[in-house]
Structure 1
Amino acid sequence: MENKPTSMAPIEYSTLDLEPKHQFEAISQAVAPICELKKPHSVGNGFRAKYSAFDLDGIDIIDWESEKTNSERSNELVRKSDFDNWAIWLVRSGYFCNEYDDLSVKANTNSLMLVSYAEPWKSYWQGRGFVSVGLSREKFSWMATSLDEANRSVLNGPLTGLLRTFISTLVSETHRISEDQKQTLSRSFSNLLAASLEPTADNLYNATPALNATRLTIAREFIRKNLGQPELNVDYICRSLGVSRRTLYNTFDGHGGVAKYIKTARLQACYKALSDHADLRFVSTVAYQYGFTNMSLFSRQFKELYGFSPKEAHDHAASNHVAPNSSSPTLLEHLCKSTSCSGSQAYDAAH
């Protein structure tokens, strides 16, 4: 029997386990080596905060939820601290403001802000959640110049959306990451970040697996949400996602092509509905819901995939019919199975 890699559990922390009067002091002590928290008067006695932390081979990923607060990394703290890493803050809701001297930078929901802990700053947080991606100076010394130049800025560029999706997916799949996969994912993130900050030909080539996997994740999610659109096709996806046909074709290269993926995803959705004994809709109703307008074609394609007709699936929903395992690989799985790709594909993915 094959032994599957054991996933690594993240470190969880919550002030909700404490009495309200001790909550703010507890979270303040937890972040004291990095910054000083300042509790707003409007918060009251308690301070709800929690985080989930995970080390990805030199990259510290922390998923935060907390009350609004202000924080400061003072000159004194910078001098006595040996913590001089960078961090990327992904704002999930609300906004972040970072200030130093006369410079103020604001990151709104879904924005990425890069900050350096080698310099002092003040920040104002208003919202419910954000992700901090810590970048160790030792691991990222090879791109220190690019990171320092981007300090206290909201990241912007053709690859920013892909970087944001990559970070969000890492957070959502943290519980599935094994020790054996950490290095691959860490390298993929590093290459994607380098290409985002400085999209040279070499950086884009090195980031190809991450670019392709993240593009695929975005496209698959879009397809899943739009299966009921009869006009769902290559042109519709390209217009909606703002990518070229060539980029989209490259994204699904090795996955049977875009049209086949859409057809299979629709058939999977129909099978799930038809095999649900609590779903009493007609076969034709389910088929139309997921974009099939030709019932004869739908029945033929369904039987080719599953070995039995849609009517049989519907009539015997409570029986032992089991569909083949046709789930798509996650971003994590796709990256860890990826092989090298051409530099031209990497360049196409960025434009």
Structure 2
Amino acid sequence: MGSVASPEIRRPPNCLSLSIRSSNAGEFELWRSGYAPLFEMDAENAAARASFRAGLTSYNLANVLIIDGYSSAETLDRSARTIARSNIDHISLTVHTQGGFGLEAEGRTSEVGTGDICVLDMTRRSRLRSPDYKSLTLVLPRILLEPHVANLDTLHGKILPKGSALNTMLASHMRLLYAQAPSFDLSESHAAARGTATLVAAFAGASSDGRDMIAQAAAGASLEACRQMIEAHLHDQRLGPEYLCNQLGVSRAKLYRMFEQLGGVTWYIQRRRLVRAYQMIVDPMQGRERIGAIAARCGFSNASAFNRAFRQLHGMSPTELRIASVSGESDETELSGDQAYRTIGCWLHGVEAAAV
């Protein structure tokens, strides 16, 4: 059995280093458990699992994670069930410094080459197939990006190609952030996290050539006002295009234009209601709340319509989601008693490494 490197944890900043060499199935499962908050990971067959090699070093900078890693060929699946049991609301950016990967993101397929930056919304489904690779990954809480990106919902599956100006600047920042992370004190970590979120918002939220950044900035205030109004009134069954036009004093044509790239205003409202319902269902503090009551609190008057829409978006029924979120499938399962493999999951939920 290959040896498992003891995790090295330093404060500040929080740092975690783990690696496995060619090993048996038990050690592979231990590594996979550490990945569980992000993806369900697997290799091609039993032989590939036995010869699997992987390692990572990750820094936690005020809940922004920067991860340098390498791995043998693998499949990473962020399925509806994985999303349910991890209950995280983050955006990730990954650049493979060696090797590329095939991406499936909610029915769209893409090839991501070496040096491309791929953006994924961790509340949405994706599947990655990678040969042996090395990578650098940045994981940010959605709440850090929301004040700066008017169309955050359009980032899922976005690819910034290698060689483009935005890719070059953002990839350089990710490398610099990782290199400087060991020297940051607590206040510097917070400053770096805020600055990184602003930079990601400016780059990943812009078009691939940056030409529409000015137009986005001009429209951002109006769109953000609409989004805030929607978030505050998801419970109100009157919420819809006419309600927004009346409350905000905008024409229906302008409202439709603002939400065109987000799939339309009606679709956007329904998606936000379904996401709110998802968050309430997996919240342990609301574990005794009836599913029907949650649906009503999210603006749904018809239980059957709510269940159909919920399954279509999340890949499972509300009841199945609740069962998955409280079952023994939790990402906190300890396969060997080594709590180091739970660290990334704890970080993503805002728990400091010292508490792990």
TM-score (norm 1): 0.51
1:88 is matched with 93
1:36 is matched with 40
| Correspondence for 2:192 among 176, 185, 188 | 185
C-alpha separation in 1, matches of 2:152 and 2:79: 21
Give the secondary structure class of the aligned counterpart of 1:97: strand
Deviation at 1:119, TM superposition (A): 1.1
1:129 is matched with 134
Give the secondary structure class of the aligned counterpart of 2:87: coil
CA RMSD of aligned residues (A): 2.6
Alpha-carbon displacement from aligned partner over 1:283-338 (angstroms, at most 9, x marks no partner):
xxxxxxxxxxxxxxxxxxxxxxxxxxxxxxxxxxxxxxxxxxxxxxxxxxxxxxxx
C-alpha separation in 2, matches of 1:149 and 1:78: 18
Alpha-carbon displacement from aligned partner over 1:224-269 (angstroms, at most 9, x marks no partner):
xxxxxxxxxxxxxxxxxxxxxxxxxxxxxxxxxxxxxxxxxxxxxx
- For 1:134, the aligned partner's letter is V
- Does residue 22 (structure 1) correspond to residue 29 (structure 2)? The answer is no
Alpha-carbon displacement from aligned partner over 1:78-102 (angstroms, at most 9, x marks no partner):
2343113110011111002211454
Percent identity of equivalent pairs: 17
C-alpha separation in 2, matches of 1:59 and 1:9: 11
Which fold has the larger relative contact order, with Cα–Cα distance below 8 Å and residues 6 or more apart in sequence?
2
1:162 is matched with 169
Compared CA separation, residues 112 and 191, structure 1 to 2 (3 A): same
C-alpha separation in 1, matches of 2:189 and 2:63: 9
CA contact (8 A) 1:22 1:46 kept: no
1:8 is matched with 13
1:98 is matched with 103
- Does residue 138 (structure 1) correspond to residue 140 (structure 2)? The answer is no
Give the secondary structure class of the aligned counterpart of 1:152: coil
Give the secondary structure class of the aligned counterpart of 1:83: coil
Alpha-carbon displacement from aligned partner over 1:190-223 (angstroms, at most 9, x marks no partner):
222122123646999xxxxxxxxxxxxxxxxxxx
Compared CA separation, residues 160 and 146, structure 1 to 2 (3 A): farther
1:270 is matched with none
Q: Which runs of 5+ in 1 are unaligned?
A: 1-5, 205-351
CA contact (8 A) 1:194 1:203 kept: no
C-alpha separation in 1, matches of 2:125 and 2:77: 8
Alpha-carbon displacement from aligned partner over 1:123-172 (angstroms, at most 9, x marks no partner):
11123211121111222222454332121021255322111001011122
Give the secondary structure class of the aligned counterpart of 1:138: helix
C-alpha separation in 1, matches of 2:190 and 2:37: 27
User: 1:1-351 maps to which residues of 2 (within 5 A)?
Assistant: 8=13, 10-16=15-21, 19-41=23-45, 43=48, 45-143=50-148, 145-156=150-161, 157-196=164-203, 197-198=205-206, 200=213
Compared CA separation, residues 58 and 202, structure 1 to 2 (3 A): farther
Compared CA separation, residues 171 and 72, structure 1 to 2 (3 A): same
- For 1:39, the aligned partner's letter is A
- For 1:38, the aligned partner's letter is D
For these two proteins, the number of residue pairs brought into alignment is 198
C-alpha separation in 2, matches of 1:182 and 1:142: 19
Give the secondary structure class of the aligned counterpart of 2:104: strand
2:320 is matched with none
**Larger gyration radius, structure 1 or structure 2:** 1
Give the secondary structure class of the aligned counterpart of 1:181: helix
- For 1:112, the aligned partner's letter is I
C-alpha separation in 2, matches of 1:82 and 1:56: 20
CA contact (8 A) 1:137 1:144 kept: no
C-alpha separation in 1, matches of 2:84 and 2:50: 32
CA contact (8 A) 2:95 2:115 kept: yes
C-alpha separation in 2, matches of 1:35 and 1:141: 23
TM-score (norm 2): 0.51
Compared CA separation, residues 144 and 11, structure 1 to 2 (3 A): same
C-alpha separation in 2, matches of 1:107 and 1:30: 24
Deviation at 1:174, TM superposition (A): 2.4
